[in-house]
Amino acid sequence: MNQIDKYYESYLGSYAQEGTKQESENTLTLFKIIKALLRRWYIVLLTVVVLCAIGIPAIFYMFKPSYETVGAIRVSPILPNVLFDDAETQDVMPNYQGFMNTQAELMSSNEILNRVAEDMAKRGIRICEPDMDPVAILKLMINKETILIEPGEKTELINIKMKTNNTAFSEELVDSFIRVYMTMQAYEENQGEDNKLALLENKRASTAKQMQQQRKIIRQLAEEFGTTSLTGRQEMMLEQVMKLQNELTTLETKRIALEANVQMKVNGDKVLLAPTDRMKLKYEFINADLTIKALTEDMAKLERDVLGDQQTMVSGNPRLEQRKEILTALKTRLDQRREDIGKKFEELIEEQINRSSEFQVAELKAELAKVRENERRIREKLEGTNAELITLGKRHLAIKDHQEQLELTKELYDAINRKIQKIEMESQRPARVSVAYYASSVIAKDKRQKLAIVAVLGSICCGGFLGVMIDRSDKRMRTPTDLNKSLSTRIIGTTVCPTEVKRSELSERLADDYRTIRANISMLEEENQHILAVTSSQPKDGKTTFSINFAASLAQNDRKVLLIDGDLRKPDIARILNLPEGTTGLSDVLEGKPFANALWYAPSAGFDVLGNYDRCLKACDRLSRPEVQSNIRNLCRYYDHVVIDTPPVLAFPDALLWARIADATILASFAGKTAADDLKEAYGRLHELNITVLGTVLNGVHTAHSYNKYGYRYYKASSSPADKNGPTRNRPLLLTSGN
């Protein structure tokens, strides 16, 4: 056995808990269902796997999918132009939906059905028996909607659908519908285009003849001038007329002016200069005088000097004042000189005007006669040119009218040619009606996946139901709450499950659990706790392990403890504590041998042991002797505490005999193994014999349900370095498993 350190705290554990009021076990809440499923998850998983392994293959074998064969014809509402790609040149079909419905009806007409039957016969595929009418069969299939021909909603497609299990036959039949319809559609489109082309060709021939007649007329009108374009000649003559008109106007104006001048000269009017011209000549005459030029230059120089002196001299300087007086005298002299020269200019002008008036009258009369002669000649020439221009304009208008008629005829001819070319080009573009896609089959109705999902969900439900029912039928206790519900007695404490705790912490956790149990027992109201019997309802409930660990815990409290292995039918304590084999044991003591020879001290555990190696099948007979109880009690007087490990209550009556010898009994159970009914029955048997039951201990509890789940962390946090490094005593590490 291993060693543990002594615990130095003055208080451990919690108060013993009294049995709570038993709840109704028939109430099934969602929380309970979830807990049950989590506990029985393996049953749910196994049920799901088994049911799915059987059900899903059966579903895929029994239920076969049905197929839908679909082919489609595309009817384009808009045909783009081959030469252009704009919205104005696109051929948009009016009443498109009506056209789609009409074509769908035509595809189920007798003519189409006859051709489909012929096409299928050519391919060696029979639609029906030889003595039956294939067209009637096709009509029947259409009426029963086995074959469905309808425009697709919000699409450009006319769908041909067929429901069948024979995908090869249905695909051939749908393809035959598509081929026959496309053949007839192509024939109708070609026939319509041929009729249009014939009509346009006739119209183009008549238009060409009309153009030839119009060109002949235009040629006759233009022969005199050698060209049909008279605009240049007309503009040239019009420009000539305008020039003559301008010259005539100029001469008339000049003649009138001369006549007025002559009349003025004859009447004695003098020729006067314009005021502006007169002033200009006067100004130039004055400025040309040399004296004025000299005075102006001197005055300008003197002004510059005065300005310079004003910058350098103070006001009142004699030199500055002298220069100012000279400048004033120069200005006066200049003004006087200009006045004298101006008077002289006026005298010269008057003399010149009087001298030239007599000669001007003669010159004006000669010039007037010349202007009148030029005016007469220009007028005659203007009248002739104007007549020629009018004649040319009339001819030009006639040619222009015929040219406009020719242009209109040419436009009509070109439009006919473009229409013919467009029809020929558009005959190469994709047709309005085309094959969208040929027949292909898809699974139309396949319940297998849904049924498989239902099977999976059903198996999950069955597994969950089975798991909940099994959990409901399982009366084994797992938590102190389950123990409270099943048994109206106090719970002394719990021990943690070894698999739920780290191996390095397991010894401390178990030691804390047993110290808590020891403290709880010490606080119970029952005064006589000297001899304690430990029993259980069934084997493997951990009573032997509990007895050894509990005795070790009592011994740690500096008490003298005796551990008796009362299970004579299956003694385990001697083997667990490694006592020497072949030694005297309890069975020998019951036969009358002295106690001193049968007692063994376990130094590592700190208590005495009265064990046994040999099995005794007549244990009940030996324990029922009257002297046994007195002998055991006499031995127990030398010890502070005596712990008796007894057989299970429901297995053998030995446990009841030991319980009568002991002062009180502790009922051990194991989480996940001990059934509630067994524990009730064991408690009932003890209660019937008026045996004092201190309470129950639940072994192997999950950490979360342990009564001491916070104690160990608190102990570790509060322990000081001195406690950790202080003196230690050899104490056993408590057992983690046993009977």
Phi, psi of 708 (to 5 degrees): -120, 35
Give a yes or no: residue 160 inside a domain.
no
pLDDT for 364 equals: 72
pLDDT for 192 equals: 67
User: How many C-beta neighbours within 10 Å does residue 242 have?
Assistant: 11
- Per-range mean pLDDT, top range of 320-324, 598-602, 618-622: 598-602
In contact, 695 and 569? CB cutoff 8 Å: no
Summarize the confidence of residues 358-381 as an average pLDDT: 77
Give a yes or no: residue 20 inside a domain.
no
Q: Is 681 exposed, middle or buried (0-12, 13-18, 19+ CB in 10 A)?
A: middle
Give a yes or no: residue 249 inside a domain.
yes
At residue 231, does pLDDT exceed 80?
Answer: no
**Spatial distance between the Cα atoms of 553 and 239, rounded to a whole number of angstroms:** 144
User: How many C-beta neighbours within 10 Å does residue 672 have?
Assistant: 16
- pLDDT tens sequence across 311-322: 777 777 777 787
pLDDT band at 202 (very low <50, low <70, confident <90, very high): confident
Q: Which amino acid is at 116?
A: V
Q: Which amino acid is at 288?
A: A
Summarize the confidence of residues 159-179 as an average pLDDT: 86
Give a yes or no: residue 551 inside a domain.
yes
**Spatial distance between the Cα atoms of 669 and 675, rounded to a whole number of angstroms:** 9
Q: Which H or E element spans position 534? A: strand 531-536
- pLDDT tens sequence across 90-103: 556 678 888 888 88
- Same domain, residue pair 468 and 342: no
Give a yes or no: residue 48 inside a domain.
yes
- Same domain, residue pair 483 and 415: no
Which whole-number Å values give the CA distances from 24 to 243, 327, 473, in the listed order?
A: 133, 143, 15
In terms of pLDDT, which residue wins out, 337 or 460?
Answer: 460
In contact, 678 and 599? CB cutoff 8 Å: no
- Same domain, residue pair 574 and 593: yes
Instruction: Specify the DSSP class assigned to residue 476.
Output: B
pLDDT band at 665 (very low <50, low <70, confident <90, very high): very high
**One-character DSSP codes across 213-248:** HHHHHHHHHHTTTTSS--HHHHHHHHHHHHHHHHHH
What is the b/e burial string over 594-607, where b = at least 16 CB atoms within 10 angstroms of the residue's CB? ebeebbbebeebbb
Summarize the confidence of residues 696-713 as an average pLDDT: 73
Summarize the confidence of residues 396-423 as an average pLDDT: 84
pLDDT band at 711 (very low <50, low <70, confident <90, very high): low
- Same domain, residue pair 395 and 273: yes
Give a yes or no: residue 222 inside a domain.
no
Residue for token pair 């439009």: 415
- pLDDT tens sequence across 520-541: 888 886 667 789 999 998 888 8
**One-character DSSP codes across 665-703:** EEEEEETTTSBHHHHHHHHHHHHHTT--EEEEEEEEE-G
- Same domain, residue pair 378 and 412: yes
In terms of pLDDT, which residue wins out, 23 or 420?
Answer: 420
At residue 726, does pLDDT exceed 50?
Answer: no
Instruction: Specify the DSSP class assigned to residue 505.
Output: H
- Same domain, residue pair 620 and 704: yes
**Spatial distance between the Cα atoms of 606 and 559, rounded to a whole number of angstroms:** 9
pLDDT band at 562 (very low <50, low <70, confident <90, very high): very high
Task: Tell me what percent of the residues of the chain surpass a pLDDT of 70.
Answer: 84
Pick from 500, 558, 534, 552: which is nearest to 712 by CA?
500
Which whole-number Å values give the CA distances from 573 to 96, 601, 608, 644, in the listed order?
A: 100, 13, 12, 11
Phi, psi of 642 (to 5 degrees): -125, 130
pLDDT for 722 equals: 40
In terms of pLDDT, which residue wins out, 472 or 184?
Answer: 184
Phi, psi of 662 (to 5 degrees): -75, 165
User: Please, what is the average pLDDT of the chain?
Assistant: 78
Give a yes or no: residue 14 inside a domain.
no
In terms of pLDDT, which residue wins out, 450 or 78?
Answer: 450
Residue for token pair 């004579």: 568
**Spatial distance between the Cα atoms of 353 and 350, rounded to a whole number of angstroms:** 5
- pLDDT tens sequence across 19-70: 334 444 556 678 878 877 777 788 888 888 998 888 888 888 887 777 788 8
User: What token pair was written down for 215?
Assistant: 């060109």
Reported pTM:
0.47
pLDDT for 738 equals: 53
**Spatial distance between the Cα atoms of 418 and 203, rounded to a whole number of angstroms:** 13
Q: Which amino acid is at 692?
A: T
Q: Which amino acid is at 619?
A: A
Residue for token pair 């005795």: 551
- Per-range mean pLDDT, top range of 261-270, 522-531, 654-663: 654-663
- Same domain, residue pair 461 and 495: no
User: What token pair was written down for 1?
Assistant: 């056995």
In contact, 643 and 532? CB cutoff 8 Å: yes
Least confident of 133-137, 395-399, 678-682, 684-688: 395-399
- Same domain, residue pair 422 and 451: no
| Structural domain count, the chain | 3
- Same domain, residue pair 401 and 520: no
pLDDT band at 7 (very low <50, low <70, confident <90, very high): very low
- Same domain, residue pair 534 and 462: no
- Same domain, residue pair 388 and 487: no
User: What token pair was written down for 77?
Assistant: 């509402």
- Same domain, residue pair 665 and 517: yes
Question: CATH code at 675?
Answer: 3.40.50.300
pLDDT band at 354 (very low <50, low <70, confident <90, very high): low
At residue 515, does pLDDT exceed 70?
Answer: yes
User: What token pair was written down for 185?
Assistant: 């559609």
Angle at 667 (CA atoms; ends 498, 670), nearest 5 degrees: 30
Q: How many CA atoms lie within 13 A of 581 on its CB side?
A: 3
- pLDDT tens sequence across 117-133: 888 888 888 888 878 88
Q: Which of 395, 426, 457 is the last residue of a domain?
A: 426
Give a yes or no: residue 190 inside a domain.
no
- pLDDT tens sequence across 388-406: 778 777 777 888 888 888 8
User: How many C-beta neighbours within 10 Å does residue 551 have?
Assistant: 30
Q: Which H or E element spans position 435? A: strand 433-445
Domain that holds residue 275: 231-426
pLDDT for 533 equals: 93
Q: Which of 393, 426, 459 is the last residue of a domain?
A: 426
- pLDDT tens sequence across 430-448: 677 888 888 888 777 777 7
User: What token pair was written down for 425?
Assistant: 């080009």
